[in-house]
Structure 1
Amino acid sequence: MNFIPVKLKEPKSSFNYFEDNQVLTAEQLNKVVQYFDYQERITRARLIGVGIMCGLHIVFERNAITVTKGVGVTSDGDMIVLEQDKTFISARILNDQKANYAPFQKLKDANGELRIWELTGAESPDDNESTPLGSFFDNRSRRPQDYVILAYLSQHLHDTDQCSSDECENKGLVHVSDLKFLALTKADYDLINDESACCGDAYFSLPEVSIPRVLLNERDNIFSYADFQAAYRKQIEVGGAALKEPLTFAVASARTLSACMMESGVIKNNPRLSTGFSTAVLTDRAGASVDLHAQLMNKVTSFTASNTILGIQYMYDCIKEVADAYYEYKEKLFELCHGCCYDAAAFPKHIALGLLVEDATVTPCKYRDCFIESPILNHKDDQLREAVMLFMRLLQMVQTFDIRTGARIPVRITPSKGIAGDLSTRAIPYYYNAASLFTNWNPQKTFRRREKTNLGYDADQYSNIDFIREPLKFNIDEHEFFRIEGHIGKTYDEAFRAINQLRQQFDIPFEITAVQLQRERRTIIPPKIRKKNWYDLLLEREKFGWTHRLDHVKDYSDRVVTTLPTADELTRPEFRKMYNTAKFQDPVQAKTNVETKKAEIQNNLTATKTMLAAFKPTADNEQPAPDFVSTHQQLTNISSSLSKSAKLLTETSLLSPVSTIGVLDHPYIIDWIGSIIVNTENKIKDGYVFSNFLKQNPSMMHNAGVCRGGTFVLVYDVQNGQRIIVGDFYLPYVAKEDLVDTEIDPVKVPVKPYLPIDVGLVKDFVKVPFLNEDILGIKERFDIFMKDEFTGVKGKLDGIGNMVNEVNKDVINVREGVAKNMETMANSYQKTFGTMTESYNSFLGNVVKFGDKGGTVAGGVDGLLGLNADSFANLTPDRINLVREKLKEITTRLR
């Protein structure tokens, strides 16, 4: 019995041509058959593919196993075709002595029997060696979920010669192919399965990963760069740790990819593959390889170890982008099964159909020979190259990450695709070495020889295309995001000016603002502060009004000095006689006091007017605002002293500018309006403190740039007196200029009684023409007169008070008398009424009721009420006279 070898391992490169009348040998004829058999096999296995092409699925019931119809190709190019579904109800130990299939030799037990069971159907009812499937799986050591089903093409050469002692029929050898379906455990299948480097389960072995977000809110108390860095440090460390397993598996899968490329002839068969940009080794079959995660964590440690290194947000961006790059690499491994020169001995005579009981936790092709197509079909060769390039990009990103800061780093704005798109479509960030990365950044562009069209901060290092080197000068309609880089570490003025200049120069659709980490208002620079225009209008009105009144005071003080008595007049005996008393001060001293106070008023007026002219209330002033109220009070005191002394020496009207200056309300209103303006600006400034701004704009995000139509937010930290840019965010909308409520707090305006200072004012002061005894006497007599008048008025007032008291007494007496008279009158009325009633009744009693019978009216008054008109008409004259007399008597009594 002859065993069938792996035929693709024995190439047949020639065969014999036949000639006329040639004697053919078996070898010559067999070469022809073998040659064409080899060509047919290699066509299937190399140009089409190997594995299950369709069908051949397993349906398991407790007592039966059904394999659906389908087609498959073994790694040796044999076709396995099942035209109809086939059901099996029993199993027996496989006897493979005829074929003696090499892979199965690993599965013999101590007795030399195979640990493989052949499935049999209803066509073998008398098979005593078979066990019904129901009984087969009743054995506790056999669980259906532990078994794999194979389609096995048992091939061998069968000798058909039947020889006796006399002769042989000489029929020759027959090639026998017998399709069988087998069951074996998963552990035994792993022993015979030679998984190809070009078709493994690398995609499913790569773990999932997601980077935690940096969630900031106003309660985090972020008021310095150290606080800001601490907020990012935690998530950077957590994200870096989360990437350990994914990066480790990515490196392992890269080793597999390099082996596949060598097997497929894509690269030279060399166990080591250089990255091409450093001395690092991408893969080593011996196991030594790049520790990608360790390199990444070294970068993380260098940034998180110090609170002074700027660019902590870029370190977080790198962690996120590494995760994005990892996922793009992982997706390229999905269904990356192809074989240019697939090993013919992998499964030369069998095909794994899968687990008897499907397990969702197991990758689809682990126990099923999925179809491994030729790399030219569906561009699987390009998919392999792209996967390798994406891994190279991942490696380069980690190894070349570096943040450049300083004045020499220019600020640039680079158009980019949106952050929701693939990393390959975005602009290359400035913290990577673009000169070495650009060829692997977007594999699809590289395949099309367009790698130099990748946008990036350092595009001038690898591209000579104008619209790539200076993209803002060309069409940007397809770009919805703008990377802004190079500003970290610069002062606020430098960064804001550079970004704003680019924004205006190229008409880029976004706004820009800035916020400060510290709460110190003095260093906050809100880009725009709007205050109500009528604040300024009211302030200027009050400043003008007070300045005008101060001019009146100056004019009055100038003129009042000219009305003072001269030195000769002050020496006259008559003048000094009046003042040389304890009641009045010395006149010379009074004049001196007026002149001194006048000079003080002049100085105070000049200083006050200067302060008014320069007064522009703003929260930016480092010096405290002028205290106009105190200045006003000081001026009032000086003016009062001047007015007091001047009145002893001059005659003026009742009111003068210096006497009315104390009731002006201008200083109070100026202070009030100034405080409103300052408080409003302070509220707006408080809105530009990072924590407050974040409270008003919780949608603030960081992606190293700004979206179209958004607001780019610079974050600066005050360090050594300078505002240093340490981070940035963006809002997906235009931020309001007034970020806080600027309504005026309820304040009661201090109102002073207003008196026009010109009322009763004599414009021309009249100096006393002649100071003599008569004038002094008049004044003295006037004082005596006023005193007498006051005494008289006081006496009269006292008399009036006594009269009022007497009147009060009379009122009380009258009230008592009236009460008594009312009581007497009431009694009199009551008595009179009784008498009247009695007389009336008597009168009525004498009235004769006229008719046939005479008589009186019964019932008195009541009876009278019963008389009718006819009764009165029948009265005699005598009776009428009697009635008249009685009525007179009643009337008299009533009076």
Structure 2
Amino acid sequence: MGNVLDHISKDNTRFTIFENDQVLTADHLNDLVNYLDVQSRLTRTQAIGVGIITGLEIGLLDNKHVVVSKGAAITTDGDLVQFANDQEFDQYDVFEDANAKYSYFHLDTDQPIPLFELRNSQLVGAVPGKDLATLEDTTGTAFKDYVGILYLEDYDNDEDLCTGTDCDNKGIIAVKELKVLLVHKNNVNTLLQSMPSLNKDYFALDDLNIPRVTVSTAIDTYAELNASFNNALAIKDDIKAKLAKAYQTCQLIVEDEFEAGDPTSGWNTLLDQHFTAGVSTTTQYVYDFARDLSYAYNEMRESLFSDDMLSLPDVDLFPKHVLLGLIRDASLKNPIIPFPDIRILPGRDIPIIPTRTIDRLINPRINLFSNIRFNLGTLIKRFNPIHIDLEYRHHFYESPILNNNNEADELTRFCFMRIHSMITNFHVPTSDELQNIDTALKIIPGYQEDSPLGQRSIPFYYRYNATFPLNLYWNFNANTRKKENQILSYNANLYSNNPATLTPLLYNILPFNFFRIEGHIGFTLSAVEAALNKIILDNNLPINIQSVQVEKKIETIPIKPWFFPHLYMYEKSVKSTFIDRMNDADTVNDELVQDTANDNPVIPVSEFKTAKQNVLDNARDVGDPQFNFVNYRSAVSNMFTAASNVKAQTKQYTFSNTAIPHDFILNSDILRKTDVISGIFQETLNKKKAGLTLGNFMKDNPGLEHVGGSLRGGTFVLVYTADDKKVVADFMLPYASIDKDVVPDPPVYKPLPLPLPEGTPIIPKFPIRNVFEIKPYYVKNFDDRIAPYVKIADIDTKVASTVDLKLAVTNAKIDGLTPQIASFDQRLKDNSSLFNSVLSKDLSKVALPSAGLNLGGRDFTADLNALHEKQSIIQNLAPDAPDRQVKENELLQSMNDLTDKLNQPAVLQDPTSAIGAKSILADVQSASTFVQNPALKDQAGQVSEKALNAIKSFNLRR
């Protein structure tokens, strides 16, 4: 009979309207039938779809019977074929297409394809065939290699032809018999031509994948960082090739959008300009641009996947058959009951309806589900609706009207226009163009890269072009709904007046999981940090900030307000203890001055107060950038000298009840502890700085990626260069990385406030009245009388010399002197003559040091006299005298030479040199206080400290 829809003409697109008394002919009736038939078929194929609607899967039971599940299908000629019930076949026979001569069953050489027809011997009137169980042995093939075919044999049968004596023609019979055929998969090639070529454009293209930027942890220059991005940009040629192929594949769909023809040559020219490699701050945005193109291209490719949509299917695809797929193993839940046709037997007017048929008509739920269970076996199941076997089975190919949510062609055209606009409008603004960081820097909420490109905010490296605006082609839904002016972007102010678009941070940001941060590249680090922190704080944004340097030069890394509590508290304890000792000593000095106002010489408290103030001025925290350990050491050394000078003038007093504050000062190890703390702090500081270079930061914080912003709760990392402190790149950590050592307002150590609250115990001052008392007259007289016999010229009686001198007297071999002094009573104080006679008698037994300052075999008299002479000259000079600096330098040189001579092994190893050497060193320390020139004070402090260390060395060897 042929394909109905292949023969549509005016004869079957019009029909006669019947009228009363009209003589009807066969043409009148056939025209009407043909018209209705064609309309019914067109409705199926054009408005609904073609292919297998449901069911119709084929399988093999254990008993070698073939089963086909109930289902329905529509051929491309509009035939609706179906099995209302599951079918079971136990016989077969060779199928010879003698009636319809269906073209698909013949090879190009017109040779028929070997086919087998399946039959059910249980049906009434069934034509007997061969036992299906013998098929494999007979053919030498396996059932699993056969493909099922549901074939509608359609032909006209004229059984009553006119003869010479009789022309009683009862009409031609249109035969439409549904058959199940088997064909070996090796012979199915001709039939496979009936499979629609779906999504050929989709499978003709490949995805575009952008390589990841890999930054080495050994990075040390910006050129290396830039090279990391440039290496990834080698993808340019791949982008150009795939865009060109995409246009060629989709040309029929998109060519009307490009009036000038193929746009790919223009794209290639622009891409060559955009992807120019070099050391510039735009490279990271070129990489972002490449990544955007990959997303846009891949979304375009996905738009070509139509989900089995078939528009205007060709009638000749599969007009009278559908492929059921390969035979799979199957099993039955319950035995299949044959469902014969309802027929009228010859000579009977009443149809015969089997009882089981009546049951099924009464209970339609029996037919609701298939009774066959299919085993998937090793086949890969693609989750295409209904279907399993995609290679040898017709799907159901929907009409576009049923698949209108895809809007496939329009979406494809839109995606091409977006790519065209992105390439055309790409431009990275420089810091010179942006000018002001406060207006250039913006934070735009949006979505991360796991969202489609159109749902994200538009990056700032796409300029706004009013004649070809990217926002119009950024989001398909926004385009179709006329909402392109509501898309968030860096340049939203150029196309929108919607407040929520212009100032999105002032509106609900909870739906957004990402924040684009743009406009900061090329500006100085300090300016960017200040502007960025202001936006974050003003808008309460969930973003952390870190700054790292490209180069591993820790000396150029800016100091941050780091606070190390363990070092801070220990240092404060050491320094505050020393300050307390100075305050106590200052209190003692003030009261001593009051009690000794009439004595001569006057105690030098002004020198002490000056030294104390100098210590306080230099006693900064070790973390303070203005802290200078050399200056602090000089100030403390001057305090040691001042305390020694005060103590040297109090030899007429005895400090018998306790050690005086001056002793605590002189015995303090504050310099050593401060030096240790300063060293630990510097090591800690260097470690902190080293961790803020890009390579080291990556080691400590895995997952660093450049994404042009930060996730909600993430860390935005600014990368700057050492020489100019300009921001050249940015990265992101998907988690919070917080420097807990940064404390903008660290706690300050403060003493208890005064006045104290009522009831608070008062911390007493140093108990001065219990500290010193005037020496008894006989002791003072004894010291005065014995002094002329000690031949140490011009000893500056400091603490060290005074203590050692008394030890020398105590150790002197004075026969009977000590017991006599111990037995003196109050009357001896009033009898000077008796005391003098006893003293004179016993002094003959005292063994005193030899005359002069002969220490270690060397006479130091001349050196000491020269030192005193230079000191005397400076004392008589005005502070602003022109030659004062020269004289101070000479004094400083004399001090240094004398100290070095006393540190010689000959002096140090002579046990009799200790007293004299320490006296001379005390003079050296005293002389250092006369050096007032700022350029020389540090050197004087160093010499004074060297002298102090020498004194301590003699104390240890004594």
TM-score (norm 1): 0.63
CA distance in 2, matches of 1:455, 1:516: 32
Deviates more, 1:496-505 or 1:354-363: 354-363
The answer (yes or no) to whether the contact 2:44–2:50 under 8 Å persists in 1 is yes
How far did residue 6 of structure 1 move? Answer: 3.6
CA distance in 2, matches of 1:491, 1:197: 62
Identify the match of residue 502 of structure 2 among 458, 463, 469. Answer: 469
Q: Partner of 2:923 in structure 1?
A: none
Q: Which amino acid aligns with 1:713?
A: V
Q: 1:652 to 1:208 in 2, by over 3 A?
A: same
Q: Deviations over 1:810-835 (max 9, x none)?
A: xxxxxxxxxxxxxxxxxxxxxxxxxx
CA distance in 2, matches of 1:299, 1:355: 55
Q: Partner of 2:111 in structure 1?
A: 113
Q: Deviations over 1:139-194 (max 9, x none)?
A: 5xxx6566543322232233334233334333343322232334446576554555
Structure 2 SS opposite 1:46: helix
How far did residue 690 of structure 1 move? Answer: 3.5
CA distance in 2, matches of 1:5, 1:793: 152
Q: 1:256 to 1:85 in 2, by over 3 A?
A: farther
Q: Partner of 1:726 in structure 2?
A: 729
The answer (yes or no) to whether the contact 2:618–2:632 under 8 Å persists in 1 is no
Q: 1:622 to 1:633 in 2, by over 3 A?
A: closer
Q: 1:466 to 1:630 in 2, by over 3 A?
A: closer
Alignment of 1:44-83 (within 5 A): 44-60=44-60, 63-83=64-84
TM-score (norm 2): 0.60
Identify the match of residue 337 of structure 1 among 308, 314, 318. Answer: 308
Q: Which amino acid aligns with 2:102?
A: Y
Alignment of 1:568-583 (within 5 A): none
CA distance in 2, matches of 1:686, 1:662: 39
Identify the match of residue 408 of structure 1 among 430, 433, 440. Answer: 433
Q: Which amino acid aligns with 1:133?
A: L
The answer (yes or no) to whether the contact 2:618–2:627 under 8 Å persists in 1 is no
Q: 1:373 to 1:636 in 2, by over 3 A?
A: closer
Q: Partner of 1:497 in structure 2?
A: 530
Q: Partner of 1:427 in structure 2?
A: 457
Q: Partner of 2:548 in structure 1?
A: 515
How far did residue 40 of structure 1 move? Answer: 1.0
CA distance in 2, matches of 1:622, 1:721: 23
Q: Which amino acid aligns with 2:113?
A: R
Structure 2 SS opposite 1:793: coil
Q: Partner of 1:367 in structure 2?
A: 392
Deviates more, 1:381-390 or 1:112-121: 381-390
The answer (yes or no) to whether the contact 1:153–1:179 under 8 Å persists in 2 is yes
How far did residue 520 of structure 1 move? Answer: 2.7
Q: Partner of 1:530 in structure 2?
A: 563
Q: Which amino acid aligns with 2:447?
A: K
Q: 1:541 to 1:564 in 2, by over 3 A?
A: closer
Structure 2 SS opposite 1:688: coil
Q: Partner of 1:708 in structure 2?
A: 712
Q: 1:321 to 1:99 in 2, by over 3 A?
A: same
Q: 1:760 to 1:128 in 2, by over 3 A?
A: closer
CA distance in 1, matches of 2:95, 2:420: 50
Q: Partner of 1:750 in structure 2?
A: none
Q: Deviations over 1:222-243 (max 9, x none)?
A: 3433444556666676x889x8
CA distance in 1, matches of 2:266, 2:691: 47
The answer (yes or no) to whether the contact 1:617–1:677 under 8 Å persists in 2 is no
The answer (yes or no) to whether the contact 2:143–2:327 under 8 Å persists in 1 is yes
Note if 1:793 corresponds to 2:793: no
Structure 2 SS opposite 1:178: strand
Q: Deviations over 1:389-448 (max 9, x none)?
A: 446546765776554442434211111135544444322233346764434433233333
How far did residue 493 of structure 1 move? Answer: 1.7
Q: Partner of 2:874 in structure 1?
A: none
How far did residue 548 of structure 1 move? Answer: 6.5
The answer (yes or no) to whether the contact 1:424–1:441 under 8 Å persists in 2 is yes
CA distance in 1, matches of 2:95, 2:713: 73
The answer (yes or no) to whether the contact 2:578–2:670 under 8 Å persists in 1 is yes
Structure 1 SS opposite 2:404: helix
The answer (yes or no) to whether the contact 2:205–2:245 under 8 Å persists in 1 is no
Q: Partner of 2:29 in structure 1?
A: 29
How far did residue 49 of structure 1 move? Answer: 1.4
Q: Deviations over 1:335-374 (max 9, x none)?
A: 6222442322322222222234577469754432211222
Q: 1:552 to 1:290 in 2, by over 3 A?
A: same
CA distance in 1, matches of 2:714, 2:551: 25
Q: Which amino acid aligns with 1:524?
A: I
How far did residue 467 of structure 1 move? Answer: 0.9
Q: Which amino acid aligns with 1:117?
A: L
Q: Partner of 1:165 in structure 2?
A: 164
Ranges in structure 2 where 5+ consecutive residues have no aligned partner: 329-375, 383-388, 435-439, 744-765, 792-807, 820-958
Structure 1 SS opposite 2:433: coil
Identify the match of residue 134 of structure 1 among 133, 136, 160. Answer: 136
Q: 1:661 to 1:101 in 2, by over 3 A?
A: closer
**CA RMSD in angstroms, aligned pairs only:** 5.5
How far did residue 57 of structure 1 move? Answer: 1.0
Q: Figure out how many residues of one structure are paired with residues of the other and give that number.
A: 699
Alignment of 1:241-280 (within 5 A): 248=242, 272-274=255-257, 280=262
Q: Which amino acid aligns with 2:407?
A: D
Q: Partner of 1:613 in structure 2?
A: 617
Q: Which amino acid aligns with 1:119?
A: E
Alignment of 1:111-260 (within 5 A): 112-123=110-121, 132-135=134-137, 137-139=139-141, 147-184=146-183, 189-191=188-190, 193=192, 199-200=198-199, 220-229=217-226, 248=242
Structure 2 SS opposite 1:163: coil
Q: 1:777 to 1:350 in 2, by over 3 A?
A: closer
Identify the match of residue 353 of structure 1 among 324, 348, 363. Answer: 324
How far did residue 471 of structure 1 move? Answer: 0.9
Structure 2 SS opposite 1:24: coil
CA distance in 2, matches of 1:321, 1:78: 48
Q: Which amino acid aligns with 2:69?
A: T
The answer (yes or no) to whether the contact 1:417–1:480 under 8 Å persists in 2 is yes
Q: Which amino acid aligns with 2:326?
A: L
Q: Which amino acid aligns with 2:394?
A: D
The answer (yes or no) to whether the contact 1:705–1:730 under 8 Å persists in 2 is no
Q: 1:711 to 1:551 in 2, by over 3 A?
A: same
Q: 1:132 to 1:122 in 2, by over 3 A?
A: farther
Share of identical aligned residues, percent? 27
The answer (yes or no) to whether the contact 1:618–1:681 under 8 Å persists in 2 is no
CA distance in 2, matches of 1:492, 1:130: 85
Alignment of 1:282-293 (within 5 A): none
CA distance in 2, matches of 1:182, 1:29: 35
The answer (yes or no) to whether the contact 2:430–2:521 under 8 Å persists in 1 is yes
Deviates more, 1:507-516 or 1:678-687: 678-687
In our comparison, the structure showing a higher alpha carbon Rg is 1
How far did residue 522 of structure 1 move? Answer: 2.9
Q: Which amino acid aligns with 1:77?
A: G
How far did residue 44 of structure 1 move? Answer: 1.2
Q: Partner of 2:956 in structure 1?
A: none
Q: Which amino acid aligns with 2:736?
A: Y
How far did residue 17 of structure 1 move? Answer: 1.7
Q: Deviations over 1:508-546 (max 9, x none)?
A: 233323222333333223654234464675576368569
Q: Which amino acid aligns with 2:118?
A: T
Q: 1:145 to 1:314 in 2, by over 3 A?
A: farther
Q: Which amino acid aligns with 1:115?
A: I
Q: 1:492 to 1:787 in 2, by over 3 A?
A: closer
Q: Which amino acid aligns with 2:471?
A: F
The answer (yes or no) to whether the contact 2:210–2:294 under 8 Å persists in 1 is yes
Ranges in structure 1 where 5+ consecutive residues have no aligned partner: 262-270, 282-288, 566-597, 741-753, 769-774, 798-895
Q: 1:758 to 1:531 in 2, by over 3 A?
A: farther
